[in-house]
Amino acid sequence: MENKLEFLRKYHKNIQLVNIKEIDVKLIPSDWYRAFMEKDIKYRIKNILSIWEKYSCIELRNTISYLYENIVEIDLIEYDGKYSILYSIKASDGKINYYE
């Protein structure tokens, strides 16, 4: 399987995975900052999905449930001066798909 960054750069040439300790806390939502400060990936995922639940619990309950079961990793990314969350999700065929 190809490297995550190699795959992502097919779509955004200047995309970068971001180390949370290297950015100004004011550049991203405080909930994101707290979540990405977590060293344990399980807690990081739980914290990010709790944000989804906070704002879209009823409307996206099936999506949130699916994500709890299938997210394997989340990353903070940056390209074109904007920050976003990259979700690495295990598909039914066992492959990892990336969603922003």
Write the secondary structure of 25-71 as one string of H (helix), E (strand) and C (coil).
Answer: HHHCCHHHHHHHHCCCHHHHHHHHHHHHHHHHCCCCHHHHHHHHHHE
pLDDT of 7 reads 84
Residue 84, domain extent: 4-99
At residue 56, the pLDDT reads 83
Confidence (pLDDT) at 5: 84
Give CA–CA dist 17/77, Å, rounded: 5
Return the SS3 of 20.
helix
State the CB neighbour count (10 A cutoff) for residue 2.
7
Q: Are 85 and 76 in contact (CB under 8 A)?
A: yes
pLDDT tens for the chain, 100 residues: list them: 358 888 888 888 899 999 999 999 899 999 999 999 999 999 999 999 999 888 887 788 899 899 999 999 999 999 999 999 999 999 999 999 999 9
CB 67 within 8 A of CB 52: yes
What is the number of structural domains in the chain?
1
> Would you state the pLDDT for residue 1?
37
